[in-house]
Structure 1
């Protein structure tokens, strides 16, 4: 008598999101900058956050990145809850698992591009190899620029140095606050091309606050924030659909303001 064994194939459990927010609230005096935000951001995704002025975009980014503590709710980065972490442990987490790129490049003018890129590891007590720094700069299209200081680089090149600096620790998530806001349109497109490539080629998880529909259209998903609340999203966005949605939100806000 021959016995047969039936193999049961169970679907793999879904991967944990790179960023998870639950019930996120942030009060600034009596103003609700965030008002109960629930959000999951998958690993390897590119998400843009948009909204009218004062909608809470930067506050959302700062709380999600551990730069500001929420009044209520929870934040998880790469499966690690930020709630309850001491300042020291939070600083270590930001240093090792989170990258930041801002509108102002925040490079140290007295340091070369290579020295600026190596700075996060040196601050962590590690000495990166020259090859590691060269590779980081080559990854953002700046091979051969290691010895240049910020004043010898264009705005787009300085932003690429800032990107290399953010990526050298291999963060789980990169947060960008208007990363192309200080660049002209041609240079901005080149930086956006690079960000898109880092997501598609390297599996980077990117969260970007922007006011520019063209920049937002490079993302996989656009989230719309009004008065600290998520009010909608677009998948596979285009600059035209994003601009139309923003125009509607701003018109609604102006009408609400006139009625008060």
Structure 2
């Protein structure tokens, strides 16, 4: 089952001669329980693709469906509810509150939604990212990679069907990046979690099921069961084509 589907999605910012087309008729299907990475140069449209897929941006044209629902047919209140109940977000910046412990940070979105955090669910989310023994630690007592894993646990605590991650390893060193990527891979393998990740790191390819390559707002292709060398070669080819077109 495709849990996320984009059909001929275009997104234009502005009007007239100064209009910028961030996405140009992009179609992409993402299966439930898969780990997909979106990789491209700055300005390729990868972050806009993620935002449209997650319902954070409404496309100028085309259709986006999430968990079988056509987002264009939803009012803003229904779209907000769908995002809250169906998806989780992880960003490059961890956005943890320094005065709160790891378990308090994980439970915070539930409190903000007016729900009492379930201690067992919070602990299970931390254990899922290998931080069950760091529940009482504050962010200053955790490494950058551990803080990012707390941010992932925070996104998981509400049991989202899809986890969207925008450059989740961008601020980490290579060792911490590998740990975070291994955690994401384990979530897919052990829990059937669906993950869609924007990244610039070819080494991330080894942890994913599929890579998608946008360039200049268009999807140039996908790669199944990628490896770092193949991804690096594909990116080099795309960059050469872009340079030749300029």
TM-score scaled to structure 2, two decimals?
A: 0.95
Aligned residues: 242
* One of 171, 174, 177 as aligned partner of 2:160: 171
Q: Show the counterpart of 1:161.
A: 150
The structure richer in helix per residue is: 2
SS in 1 for 2:229: helix
Give the deviation of 1:87 after TM superposition: 2.2
**Distance in 2 between residues matched to 1:252 and 1:217, nearest whole Å:** 25
Could you tell me which runs of 5 or more consecutive residues in structure 2 were left unpaired when the two chains were aligned: none
Contact 1:74 1:82 in 2 (8 A): yes
* One of 161, 175, 192 as aligned partner of 1:203: 192
Q: What CA RMSD, in Å, does the superposition of the two structures yield over aligned residues?
A: 1.1
**Distance in 2 between residues matched to 1:51 and 1:136, nearest whole Å:** 31
Could you tell me which runs of 5 or more consecutive residues in structure 1 were left unpaired when the two chains were aligned: 1-14
Q: Show the counterpart of 2:52.
A: 63
Q: Show the counterpart of 1:21.
A: 6
Instruction: Describe how 1:18-167 pairs up with structure 2 within 5 A.
Output: 18-29=3-14, 30-167=19-156
Contact 1:99 1:166 in 2 (8 A): yes
Q: Show the counterpart of 2:226.
A: 237
SS in 2 for 1:254: helix
Give structure 1 regions of 4+ aligned residues with deviation exceeding 6 angstroms: none
SS in 2 for 1:107: coil
Contact 1:52 1:249 in 2 (8 A): no
Give the deviation of 1:86 after TM superposition: 2.3
Deviations 1:229-251 (A, max 9, x none): 11111111110010011011112
Deviations 1:118-148 (A, max 9, x none): 1121122211222221121111111122221
Deviations 1:198-247 (A, max 9, x none): 00110011111111110123211111111111111111111001001101
**Distance in 2 between residues matched to 1:48 and 1:132, nearest whole Å:** 27
**Distance in 2 between residues matched to 1:161 and 1:148, nearest whole Å:** 11
Deviations 1:37-92 (A, max 9, x none): 11110100111111122110000001101111111111111112211322222222
**Distance in 1 between residues matched to 2:147 and 2:161, nearest whole Å:** 23
**Distance in 2 between residues matched to 1:110 and 1:86, nearest whole Å:** 36
TM-score scaled to structure 1, two decimals?
A: 0.90
